[in-house]
Amino acid sequence: MNATYIRIEFTRHLRDGSNLLFALLLPAAMYLLFGTLPGYSAEEAGAGNVKFYIMVSMAAYGAAVSTVAIAGTVATETMQGWGRQIAMTRMPAASFVACKMFVATTVAGLSSALVFVLGASTGATVADGWIWPVSYLITLCGSLIFACYGIGVGMLFKSESALGLASGLLVFFAFFGNVFMPLSGLMLDIARFTPMYGFVALARYPLMRDVPEFTGMAPDALWIPVTNLVAWTVIFAIFAVAATRKAKARQ
């Protein structure tokens, strides 16, 4: 990995206002908005309180958006010829991908960490201390499947505005994936098939795992979110490979 390249990549993302807004500030703001409402947010939820539940949800959303934004730049930069410029240097292609992964994971990690810190300082609690780091790690690792989604969209449309659209679509996925607010009935049934459902359900699993059935907030059996996550990982991976092939063929 190349330290100078990583430093300049961070500078670029920090200078990019919309990136900063969607990846870092929006999830934090949404947590403050929904997570700290007096009324319900201090109520119990599973092993902790509703604040903790909302904190994990927003952190998951933030991590996914960050990953999409940065993974997407891999695609657009490759298509715009920056990849060829790099190919003329001593740096191997694997190192380019490693640098981007590092930047994506760091920004996703920062975005989630910001929400977790806000949560901790505004009264999100959970009975067992280990649930904090485990929820955080699931959030971070799970968000990586959205890298494939970002690369796919970037390769398909080759433009930065398409990436904006991809992030926007993620908001939609989040609503329909039971991320922002608890869904029920038919909506929830549909939600089980959407890409963010498995990811966020797993991130909340440590918190919600002991909620008894038939209480409305009970989690699905573990195999449902796991299947969802695996299925969407495969779908996004195929999408990324297909879009890359198509883009390379048109070159």
How many other CB atoms are found less than 10 A from the CB of residue 54? Answer: 27
187 binds other proteins (CB under 8 A): no
74 vs 126, beta carbon nearer other proteins:
74
Contact 87, 77 (CB under 8 A): no
Indicate whether 3 belongs to the interface with other proteins (CB under 8 A): yes
Least gap, CB of 5 to other proteins (angstroms): 5
Question: Number of C-alpha atoms within 13 angstroms, CB side, residue 184?
Answer: 5
How far is residue 136's CA from residue 185's CA, in Å, rounded to a whole number?
A: 29
CB of 91 to other proteins, least distance (A): 4
Residues 68 and 170 sit within 8 Å (Cβ to Cβ): yes
Q: How far is the CB of 125 from other proteins (least distance, A)?
A: 42
Is residue 91 near other proteins by the rule CB under 8 A?
Answer: yes
Contact flag: residue 16 with other proteins (CB under 8 A): yes
Cβ neighbours, 10 Å, residue 26 = 18
Looking at beta carbons only, is 10 or 175 nearer to other proteins?
A: 10
How far is Cα of residue 114 from the mean position of the Cα atoms in its chain?
14
Among 32, 44, 82, 227, binds other proteins (CB under 8 A): 82
Please select the residue that binds other proteins; options are 17, 39, 88, 216, rule is CB under 8 A: 88
CB of 196 to other proteins, least distance (A): 29
CB atoms within 10 A of CB 218: 14
From the list 21, 87, 221, 242, which residue makes contact with other proteins (rule: CB under 8 A)?
87
CB 83, min distance to other proteins, A:
8
Q: State CA 78 to chain mean position distance.
A: 22
* Three-state DSSP class for residue 36: coil
Tell me which residues touch other proteins (CB under 8 A): 2-5, 8, 11-12, 15-16, 77, 80-82, 84-91, 249
